[in-house]
Homo-oligomer: A and B are copies of this chain.
């Protein structure tokens, strides 16, 4: 089949690899210039935490090692208290499993190279989708040299992100459910540069400055620097709107983030010039439509954009590629049937991780700082060591397994029942022992 993929971001490129491997001819359109030449926009480097779902998807097309070469493993989180006190916590019970810090730009470059190298793949940059008619099969793209038309597109897959042009064309079909929901928080990127080639903080951790209603995080980059991200309210006290002068910003950082402030020489310049990004959750249904000429489908953020607080946006999008590939296999590469099956299996998982990601914001900015949270994690890790493979925390099931997102909570409920039964068993055994002891003493 001739397949059109719209969007040469992370998911569009990986999906192209999967489709080309199945023998499809893929044309990959991207509205921006080639990012390998153009570079990232200021304040939009956006580090990712690649975990098992993403790695599994890369592994299946032989890209995992190449990607991991440029990544830094983060086996735990490091919480920074206001007084500079540090608390490190492993993500896994054995302390060995890690999420991996990698720059979006580097990852995209590797995936673009891989997609371009596949047989039957053509990549066209600077092509912005402006028209899509599933009944005539006609696509229109805006380019620097005017509009370009494509006729008789058989399959169009929108991998064009949270503000998907493909989805926008589907939005006005009757029966298309759609929602976009913004947090009252924005984000802004800052930098902690290397100091004589060395890291200002431990590079083997995801750093968090939990401050109750807001937070900062930092992920290590190769070469000694960290990319920091502020997650602050858009308005009100301590918000981006509120902290609008260098004096206020400096005062706020010295009060709330003193250890970071001491290693951020470019803070005021970064703060002034880097944009405030928005945090949106997008849900829609159906993810596919079948016109008389063209089958249209959505994958990744185009189908289910989520907030970044579980580090699962790209991982979930990569897992989409695995699932769609599996569905194509099961349906003999009938895209209409495969896309229907894909949505049936995948929608509930996408809805679940969207909710988990929203919940995890509160956990990261607030709860991780509490003693109760630290104690709970300790108990969970002890249980995991005591019941290896039979007890796993939610964080581990999300980040270090490929258990479908929607099956995680039911599994946790079963684990709890199991632990409660085991605990009851222990108590009962203890009671019996006491009883026999008492009897033997009589």
Q: Give the B-binding residues of A (Cβ under 8 A).
A: 163, 171-172, 174-182, 234, 278
Contact = CB atoms under 8 A, between A and B. Distances in A.
A297 B438 CA distance: 80
Contacts of A174: 182, 278
A177 B172 contact: no
A141 B181 CA distance: 29
A181 B177 contact: yes
Contacts of A234: 175
Number of copies: 2
A302 to B, nearest CB: 15
A271 to B, nearest CB: 19
A308 to B, nearest CB: 16
Contact of A175 (B163, B171, B175, B182): B182
Contact of A178 (B163, B172, B180): B180
Contacts of A176: 180, 182
A182 B286 CA distance: 11
A278 B175 CA distance: 7
A278 B174 CA distance: 7
Top 9 closest pairs, chain A to chain B, by CB: A179-B179, A174-B278, A175-B182, A177-B181, A178-B180, A177-B182, A175-B278, A177-B180, A178-B179
Nearest to A281: B177
Nearest to A177: B181
A144 to B, nearest CB: 22
Contacts of A177: 179-182
A180 B175 CA distance: 9
19 contacts: A163-B172, A171-B180, A174-B182, A174-B278, A175-B182, A175-B234, A175-B278, A176-B180, A176-B182, A177-B179, A177-B180, A177-B181, A177-B182, A178-B178, A178-B179, A178-B180, A179-B179, A179-B180, A179-B181
A176 B176 CA distance: 19
A181 B178 CA distance: 7
A256 B278 CA distance: 53
A172 B171 CA distance: 13
